[in-house]
Amino acid sequence: MEPVQEYLIAIDRDPDEALSIAKATAKRLENKELILLGLTKSLGEYLTNDDRTIRAKAIGFYASVLAALPTTLLSPAQVSVITQFLCDRLEDETGLKEVSQGLLAVAGMTRFQPEDSVMVMRSYVSNELYDSSPRKSTDCWVIDKLMSEKREALKEIGPDFATGYVDLVNNEKDPRNLMIVFSNLKAIIVEFDITDCEEAVFDACFCYFPITFKQPPNDPYGITAQDLKDRLKDCLQASNNFAVFLFPQLLEKLDSHSANTKKDVLQTITACSLSYGKNIVANYWSTLWDAIKYEVLNASDDDLALEALEAIKAIAVSLSAKLTTITRTSSLDKYLKAVTKECLTQLRNPTAKQAKPSASILSAISTASAVAHATTIQAVMPGLMTIYDGLEEIAKQRNMLQAMLPLFDSTAEIYGVWGEVELPPSLSNSLEPFKDKLFEIYSKALMGAAKEEVSFRMSGLNGLTKMSRIRNFFADNEIGLIVQFFDEIVLTDEKIDMRDTALDSLLILSRLKPSLIMEITFPAFMAKLPDKEEGEKSYDMTLSALAQLSVERPVFQVLLTRIFNKLNIVLNNKSGPAYPFALVSSILYVLRKKHELGRDISLHYSRIVPELVTRTLIPLANASGGNDLSHEAVLDVTGSIVNVILRAMEAEKQKEVLNEFFKIFVKRERSTMITADSDLIAERFNPLEQGTSPPQASTNIIFASAVAAIRREVPLPVDDLPQFLTRIIGLAQFPYSPGHRRSLLRLISVIVNKYINSPEEHEFLQKATDEMWEGVKTADTAEAAFNLPTLFWIAKALALRTDKLAEPIVGRLMELLDSEELGASVGRGFEVLLSDDPLLCKENYAVSLDLEDSAIKTASIDTLSVTVTEATSLVSEHISSLITRLLAASSPSDVNTIKVRTAALRCLSIFPTALNISVVIPYKRQIMRALLKPLDDPKRSVRKEAVDCRARWFALGELKDDD
- Residues 502-521, interacting with another protein (CB under 8 A): 503
* Shortest Cβ 629–another protein spacing (Å): 13
State which residue, 204 or 355, has the beta carbon closest to another protein: 355
- Does residue 497 interact with another protein by CB under 8 A? yes
- Does residue 435 interact with another protein by CB under 8 A? no
* Shortest Cβ 946–another protein spacing (Å): 8
SS3 (DSSP) at 417: strand
* Shortest Cβ 779–another protein spacing (Å): 13
- Kindly write out the interface string for residues 218-247 of this chain, putting x where it contacts another protein by CB under 8 A and - elsewhere: ------------------------------
* Shortest Cβ 349–another protein spacing (Å): 21
- Does residue 290 interact with another protein by CB under 8 A? no
State which residue, 532 or 943, has the beta carbon closest to another protein: 943
How far CA 226 is from CA of 174, 184, 203, 207, in Å, comes to 15, 18, 20, 17
Give the span between the Cα atoms of 164 and 147, in whole angstroms: 14
- Does residue 954 interact with another protein by CB under 8 A? yes
Question: Using CA atoms in the order 461, 462, 466, 467, what is the torsion angle rounded to 10 degrees?
Answer: -40
CA distance from start to end of the chain = 68
- Residues 634-663, interacting with another protein (CB under 8 A): 636
Q: Count of CB atoms within 10 A of residue 207's CB?
A: 9
- Does residue 444 interact with another protein by CB under 8 A? no
Give the span between the Cα atoms of 586 and 606, in whole angstroms: 18
For residues 263 and 307, is the Cβ–Cβ distance under 8 A? Answer: yes
- Does residue 27 interact with another protein by CB under 8 A? no
- Does residue 789 interact with another protein by CB under 8 A? yes
* Shortest Cβ 603–another protein spacing (Å): 23
* Shortest Cβ 881–another protein spacing (Å): 13
- Does residue 548 interact with another protein by CB under 8 A? yes
Residue type, 34: L
- Does residue 831 interact with another protein by CB under 8 A? yes
463-502 CB burial, b ≥16 within 10 A, e <16? bbbbbbbbbebbeeebbebbbebbbebbbebebeebbebb
* Shortest Cβ 338–another protein spacing (Å): 29
SS3 (DSSP) at 470: strand
The single residue among 352, 569, 951, 959 that binds another protein, judged by CB under 8 A, is: 951
- Does residue 395 interact with another protein by CB under 8 A? no
- Residues 879-938, interacting with another protein (CB under 8 A): 889, 894-895, 897-900, 902-904, 907, 932, 935-936, 938
Residue type, 466: K
- Residues 849-878, interacting with another protein (CB under 8 A): 862-863
**What distance lies between CA 213 and its chain's CA centroid?**
28
- Does residue 832 interact with another protein by CB under 8 A? yes
- Does residue 210 interact with another protein by CB under 8 A? no
* Shortest Cβ 456–another protein spacing (Å): 18
- Does residue 784 interact with another protein by CB under 8 A? no
- Does residue 536 interact with another protein by CB under 8 A? no
State which residue, 434 or 736, has the beta carbon closest to another protein: 736
Q: Show the CA angle centred on residue 381, arms to residues 375 and 383, nearest 5°.
A: 115
The single residue among 87, 106, 470, 547 that binds another protein, judged by CB under 8 A, is: 547
Give the span between the Cα atoms of 479 and 660, in whole angstroms: 47
* Shortest Cβ 112–another protein spacing (Å): 52
Output 711-717 pairs: Cβ under 8 A, ≥24 positions apart.
711/651, 711/654, 711/845, 712/754, 712/755, 712/845, 712/847, 713/651, 714/651, 714/654, 714/655, 714/658, 715/755, 716/658, 716/662, 716/751, 716/755, 717/658, 717/659, 717/662
The single residue among 331, 586, 627, 699 that binds another protein, judged by CB under 8 A, is: 586
What is the sign of the dihedral through the CA atoms of 265, 266, 271 and 277?
positive
- Residues 710-769, interacting with another protein (CB under 8 A): 737-739, 741-742
State which residue, 251 or 947, has the beta carbon closest to another protein: 947
Number of residues that bind another protein (CB under 8 A): 68
How far CA 834 is from CA of 63, 467, 797, 876, in Å, comes to 64, 53, 11, 13
Written as one string, the DSSP assignment of 560-590 is HHHHHHHHHHHHHTT--SHHHHHHHHHHHHH
- Does residue 540 interact with another protein by CB under 8 A? yes
Selection from 947, 945, 875 nearest residue 916 by Cα: 875
857-879 CB burial, b ≥16 within 10 A, e <16? eeeebeebbbbbebbbebbbeee
Contact positions vs another protein (CB under 8 A)? 300, 496-497, 499-500, 503, 537, 539-541, 543-545, 547-548, 577-578, 581-582, 585-586, 589, 632-633, 636, 737-739, 741-742, 782, 788-789, 824-825, 827-829, 831-832, 835, 862-863, 889, 894-895, 897-900, 902-904, 907, 932, 935-936, 938-941, 943-944, 947, 950-951, 954-955
